[in-house]
Every structure is written in C-alpha cells, then in structure tokens.
Amino acid sequence: MTPVVLIAEELAPSAIDVLAYDFDVRHVDGTDRPALLQAVAEADALIVRSATRVDAEVIAAGAALKVIARAGVGLDNVEVPAATARGVMVVNAPTSNIVSAAEQAIALLLSVARHTASASASLKGGQWKRSRYTGVELQGKTVGVVGLGRIGVLFAQRMASFGTRLIAYDPYIQPARAAQLGVRLVGLEELLRESDFISVHLPRTPETFGLIGEKELALVKPGVRIVNAARGGLVDEQALAIALREGRVAGAGLDVFVTEPTTESPLFGFENVVVTPHLGASTVEAQDKAGLSVARSVKLALQGEFVPDAVNVQAGGVVDEDVRPLLSLAEKLGRVFTAVAGGVAASVTVEVRGEIVSHDVGVLRLAATKGLFASVVDERVTYVNAPQLAADRGVEVELLVSDEPAEHQNLVTVRGALPDGRTVSVAGTLTLTATREISKLTGVDDFDLDLTADGVLLFFRYSDRPGVIGAIGTLLGESGVNIAAMQVARREAGGEALMTLTVDSSVDAELLSAVAAAIGSSRGSVVDLRAL
C-alpha cells in the first residue's frame, strides 16, 4: 500500500509537491485532538509545525508511524523520548530559519537604535516630533553577541558591515574560530560592561534560562540596548523592566517571551521597547525552506534511507555520498550475521577497511546494528531504536576502522563473539557495474564467497562429499523453491564446506530443517534480504 503522509498544519505548496507523487498525502487540523488521533492511526508519517502537540498519546495512536517531522527548528511540541521508545524517527529543519532569525535580530536592533516603531506610531497618530525620537548610530559602537552558534555567527557577520566592534560570550567556541569571524571572546561580565548593544543568540536550557537577570543588568554599560530574538526567558523580563524604568537600559527589542503566546508583559508599557510576536522564522523563505527540508527528510525516511536531520538517531549529521551506498551493505551484513550465528552475539565489532575510512564511517555501525536485530525482535527495528535494542540485551557494538589495503577497495566485516564461545564473521563489499553498485557477500567466517547479497539466502555447513548438491536441489525443487545461484566454499577436499544458495521464494523452518538433515548439516540458516 502507498505510505500515508499526514500533514497537520499548513505547509508550503513546494513541500507538498515533493511528497505528492510517491505518497498518499492527507490533511488534518492538528489542533482538533479527536480528529488528529483518528487520522494518525493510518499514517506512516506526521508533519507538524508548532501548534500541534505530538505527545505519547498521539504516538501510540499512530501504530504505523515511522517518522514525525516538525517544519521548524525547535521540537518543544514533540515528545521525542516517547517517539524514540517506539522506534519513530523525529526530524526537524535545523537550518531553515537561521537567516531569517539573524535578520529579525538586526531589525529589532535598528528599530531600537532609531526609535522606528514608536516614531511610526506617533506620526500615524497625527504628531510630528522629530526631536523626541533622536536615535544613535551603530558605527563605532561595541556590539556584544551572547552565543556564537549558527544564528549568532550570521548576526555578527552582518553587524560587522555596520562598522561595529564585535565582542562575544560563548564558552563553547574556540578563540581561533572567533578571531576568524573578527570577534573578540570575553567573559559575560566584561561583555555586559563594554557593550553599547547586546544581542542574545542561545538555546533555552536550564543553564541559560534567566542568564541575563537582575544581577547581570546591574553591570551593564549605561544606555545599553538589548535584543532577544532567540528564546523567551534568556533575559529576565521583570528585571529588564526595572532596568528600563531606572534608565540603566536605553531600549530593548524582543521577539520572544517566557510565556507564549502572550498579550501582557511589563515591557509592553515602554515606548523605547519594540516587541514582535515571535516572528524570527516568519518569512516566506524560511517557511519554504522548513517545509522543503522536512518533506525531503520524510521521503528519505519512508524510503528506508538514512536521514541526516533525524534528532533521535545516534549517528546524526550529513553522510558522505561515498559512504551512503555502504549503509545498505552494512545492514545486510548484520542480518546475515544473526542468521548464521543463530542468535544474538555477546559483543560485535563492525570493521571497515580501505579508502572509505578517509570519511566518517560511524554511521555504518548504526546500520549494522539495525540489521543485527531485524529478525530478533517483534517490533520494527529502525535507526532510532537499534542502539537501545542492543543496550537492552547487553550487546556492545564497536567500530574498528583501518586504512590498510584489503583484498577489496573497501571491505565491511561484522564480527562477533557468541555466548557459547563461538566467533562468527561475515564480510562484504560493493562492486560497481555500468548502472549501479551491487552489495556482495565476500566471506562467512573463513570461507571465501563471491555472491550478490540480495534475495533469500540459505547457508548450510556440512562435510564435503559427492551428492550433496543433488540432494539439496531435489528437496527444494519438490517444494517449488527455485535456485537462482549457488556457491560451495571449502578449505580442502573432504573437509568442512559451506554451501550458500540464493533462492526465489521464502523457505520455512520445516523445509530448512529437512534439507539440513538430508545432507548431515548441523544447522541450516536463512535470511531474507529482499526488502533491502
């Protein structure tokens, strides 16, 4: 069936276009709780903005949910732990509004410096009072930037063009990086004492909430102007109102408040305060970018691809294009490992060798872990819950990389120790044809193979002797199972051998056992790779 994408709030038409061809796109009013709970029951993906509350109840109602996407930066309205526990990926659009947010901070700062909003209101009210609204220039002034994250950097870069001196407080940035930006790093108290303008660009955390309060505002340079377009509560609104009333602060611009939405604040009564209703991301461009970003992420998630913007995946970030094709290979190797091992390993190492290790290959450990548990648990295994499934079972999955030359240009090996003391390993690589890259199985334990890792694979270990191939072919043929490919690997004639077959249809446990018994194999294994 075509996957269902449920859109709970307004989304840019360009974003809907990304989804409409491949998915069944449906709409619901996310603020209508009963309607949302009913509609999400059939959804594979849910897209919201800020008005829809996606809590544990909604996530539980969405039994088929694979991904929840918020078309914006924050995730305050999405209960991420509940989604993670259910293996549901959560994505957002972390860079969609950074330009808009930086520009909003600059707009507020300029408006405060030149009394733009109050002068406009006065003139519209029939008054022409030029002298009352004399402002100050930015050139030559010291601008303090609290937080040099992505938005803080954009703000600083733009403020530099006004001929300002830039200082910043951010304990998590290196001085060399700040110097590259033309910014001098200082402590918070020094920033408060030196700045003519202060702009806050921090996330709201227990450590940053109330960062600029009564104590800090007692240190500011007289006549300072303060802007907060980041998160409400970073600047204490009551303390700021007192500082404005006492004249220590000459003006303020706020786009965010400790409680939102709000129509009341002690700051609203000051003519030298400019306020806006959280408009940092409210530009046509930001909304388009947010919608397009999450639409692409949803499409990747529903197609089984790795999603760089997934916030609850341990190996987040951009996956290099050279690494991306190895994700499917690593997951297939994880599945083959569990099938051959016949159970869960006590510990597993994902080894990556070759030229590919010049890139970040950490995501391959995650992909292999996903494959390891695909046939072990009843629940759906995803990039989200795979690490937790491993932790719950006490399985430590490590990554080992080496740039030493291998038999193949790049080689991925999943190697593990089982509780009974056995060691199992499976290895694979990618081969390039004229049209595509093919996952190849190159080895199981110390048996060399050259088999396409696709379809339904059967594995049998037995003592090498005549007639085994015929016996297997007869039994499978009588059951209507067609053999597409077969390989036999052995160490020596008459010794232990490994037969690997690719067949065109599923093989049940009863048939697998019958074949194993007929050839004297201690155990037969089957793994279905058709869905990958």
Model pLDDT for residues 42-101, shown as the tens digit of each residue? 999 999 988 899 999 999 999 999 999 999 877 889 998 899 888 899 998 878 888 999
Which candidate, 473, 480, 531, places its Cα nearest to that of 507?
Answer: 480
Please give the radius of gyration of the chain, using alpha carbons only, rounded to the nearest integer: 30
Q: What is the percent of the chain where pLDDT is above 90?
A: 64
Among 110-119, 403-412, 471-480, the least confident range: 403-412
Distance CA 253, CA 235 (A): 11
H-assigned helices in 376-524: 386-392, 468-478, 509-519
Position 315 pLDDT exceeds 70: no
Region 406-431: what's the mean pLDDT? Answer: 89
| Contact assessment for residue 370 and residue 319, using Cβ atoms and an 8 Å cutoff | no
Lowest mean pLDDT segment, chosen from 13-22, 308-317, 350-359: 308-317
Asked which of 187-196, 221-230, 255-264 is least confident by mean pLDDT, the reply is 255-264
> Residue 2 contacts by C-beta under 8 Å, 6 or more apart in sequence?
22, 23, 24
- Residue range 30-42: average pLDDT? 96
Q: Which residue has the higher pLDDT, 130 or 318?
A: 130
Output helix, strand, coil percentages for the chain, rounded to the nearest 5: 35, 25, 45
469-494 average pLDDT score: 90
Tallying the residues shown for the chain, one arrives at 532
Residues 6+ apart with CB under 8 A from 391: none
Please tell me the predicted confidence (pLDDT) of residue 362: 87
Query: Which whole-number Å values give the CA distances from 370 to 20, 362, 381, in the listed order?
Result: 29, 13, 6
Query: Which pLDDT score is estimated for 178?
Result: 87
- The percent of residues in the chain predicted with pLDDT above 70, rounded, is 98
State whether residue 291 is helix, strand or coil. helix
How many C-beta neighbours within 10 Å does residue 10 have?
A: 12
79-83 long-range contacts, CB within 8 A, separation 24+: 79/54, 79/55, 80/311, 80/312, 82/55, 82/56, 83/54, 83/59, 83/312, 83/384
Distances (CA, A) of 132 to 119, 128, 197, 347: 9, 9, 21, 74
Residue 405 has pLDDT above 70, yes or no: no
Residue 317, pLDDT > 60, answer no
Count Cβ neighbours within 10 Å for each residue of 129-167 and write b for 16 or more, e otherwise.
eeeebeebebeebbbbbbbbbbbbbbbbeebeebebbbb
Helix (H) or strand (E) run with residue 191 in it: helix 188-194
Q: Is the peptide bond before 3 cis (omega within 30 degrees of 0)?
A: no
Q: Please report the pLDDT score of residue 124 as a whole number.
A: 95
| pLDDT per residue as tens digits for the range 368-404 | 999 998 888 766 687 777 888 888 788 889 999 988 7
Q: What's the confidence (pLDDT) of residue 411? A: 92
In this predicted structure, the answer to whether residue 363 has a pLDDT above a threshold of 60 is yes
CA distance 57 to 37: 8
pLDDT in the model for residue 84: 84
pLDDT for residue 406 is more than 80: no
pLDDT digits (tens, 9 = 90+) for 501-517: 999 998 888 899 999 99
Number of helices and strands (H, E) in the chain?
17, 22
Question: Residue 282: pLDDT band by 50, 70, 90 thresholds?
Answer: confident
Strand, coil or helix: 360? coil
| CA–CA gap between residue 469 and residue 458 (Å, rounded) | 13
**Helix 363-372 and helix 325-341: axis angle, to 10°?**
40
pLDDT value at 182 more than 90:
yes
Least confident of 104-118, 178-192, 490-504: 490-504
| Mean predicted confidence (pLDDT) in 232-252 | 96
CA separation for the pair 378, 392 (Å, rounded) = 14
Mean pLDDT in the chain? 90
Q: Tell the residue number behind the tokens 């690593």, with chain if given.
A: 330
pLDDT at position 6 over 90: yes
* Range scoring the smallest mean pLDDT among 145-154, 315-324, 350-359, 490-499: 315-324
The pLDDT of 117-136, averaged and rounded, is 94
State residue 316's pLDDT score. Answer: 52
Catalytic residues: 231, 260, 278
pLDDT at position 530: 82
Residue 257 pLDDT level (bands cut at 50, 70, 90): very high
Q: Are 267 and 273 in contact (CB under 8 A)?
A: yes
Q: d(Cα 373, Cα 442) in Å, to the nearest integer?
A: 22
Residue 24, pLDDT score: 96
pLDDT of 453: 92
Bridge pairing between strands 496-503 and 456-463: antiparallel
Closest C-alpha among 400, 411, 413, 415 to residue 347: 415
Pairing state of beta strands 24-27 and 524-528? Answer: unpaired
